[in-house]
Amino acid sequence: MTTSTQFVEQLQKDNEALFEASKMNVKAYFESKDNSPEALVEHFIGRMVNERMNMVEISNQVANMPADADPIELQNLSKQAMDEAIHFRMVKECIEKITGEELDVAKAIADEAAKPTAKGADLLAAYEASEDEAALAVYQIVAEGRAAAVWSQMAETIEDEFISKSYAKIAKDEGFHSTIGAMKLEKIATDEATQAHVLEIVDGMRKDLFDVSCKNTMEAKGSRELVNEAYGW
């Protein structure tokens, strides 16, 4: 049987097609001639709300961890919750730099709820990550790993120095969050049944995240072909 370390290494390798396709979509979107300041603000509000959703969900995970939880895992998840709160604030500041005025966060969140954009954080509930530790670990290693690639691509593509530096910092943090998921999977994916369960979640989540990528940005030429070939969709 494949060891949990080998299993996680292969999973990470197999994620690369999704990450690259998502980067292609982001790059095409931000290089689009139709990308007005208003469109950017709308896009970033969705990302700001997504970071807040991650903060709330991970905070709930920390609050509900059992008394005998691994202290390192508790520490890492607590750091992730703080990171997500910082990202929420950082994206808010980027929006305010574009508009030149203070953002009414409550209104922005309410407007986003009334007309929601596609968000990776929605998958936490869709895959019942609060009840399934494997689903949470998969979300971290796949969704947060993809987030690291996407924020990095935004940092590289966006010309504004303030926004670029902010998003490069977020990308680095998201990479750490993905590592938390990898560490968890190495601990729990030690038998064939668990590995099979993880692979079932992974396949569905990759499809969902590519759909999120296309809805959030645009479907770049060749991105769908890349994931279709990699995953046999």
- Tell me: the pLDDT tens digits for 109-156? 999 989 888 899 999 999 998 889 999 999 999 999 999 999 999 999
Q: How much is the pLDDT for 37?
A: 87
- Rounded mean pLDDT, 6-18: 97
SS3 93: helix
Q: Which residues contact 3 (CB under 8 A, 6 or more apart)?
A: 190
Expressed as residue numbers, the domain containing 195 is 4-231
Tokens 């296309």, residue located: 214
What are the counts of helices (DSSP H) followed by strands (DSSP E) for the chain? 10, 0
Cα end-to-end distance, the chain, whole Å: 26
| Amino acid identity at 78 | S
Amino acid symbol at 181: G
How far apart are the C-alpha atoms of 22 and 16, rounded to whole Å?
A: 10
Is the Cβ–Cβ distance between 175 and 19 less than 8 Å? Answer: no
Sorted by sequence, the CB contacts under 8 Å of residue 105 that are 6+ apart come out as 92
Supply the pTM of this predicted model: 0.93
Of the pLDDT bands very low, low, confident and very high (cuts 50, 70, 90), residue 33 is low
| Average pLDDT for 215-225 | 96
Q: What band does 63 get if pLDDT is binned at 50, 70 and 90?
A: very high
pLDDT per residue as tens digits for the range 68-109: 999 999 999 999 999 999 999 999 999 999 999 999 999 999
Token pair 């950017």 is at which residue?
40
**Sign of torsion over alpha carbons 164, 91, 84, 22:** negative
Task: Identify the pLDDT of residue 34.
Answer: 72
Query: For residue 9, is pLDDT > 70?
Result: yes
The confidence score (pLDDT) of residue 69 equals 93
Is a pLDDT exceeding 90 seen at residue 1? Answer: no
Structural domain tally of the chain?
Answer: 1
Q: Which 3 state secondary structure label does DSSP give 102?
A: coil
Alpha carbon 111 to its chain's center: 21
pLDDT of residue 118: 84
Question: pLDDT tens digits for 153-202?
Answer: 999 999 899 999 999 999 999 999 999 999 999 999 999 999 999 999 99
Q: So what's the pLDDT on residue 36? A: 83
CATH number, domain with residue 16: 1.20.1260.10
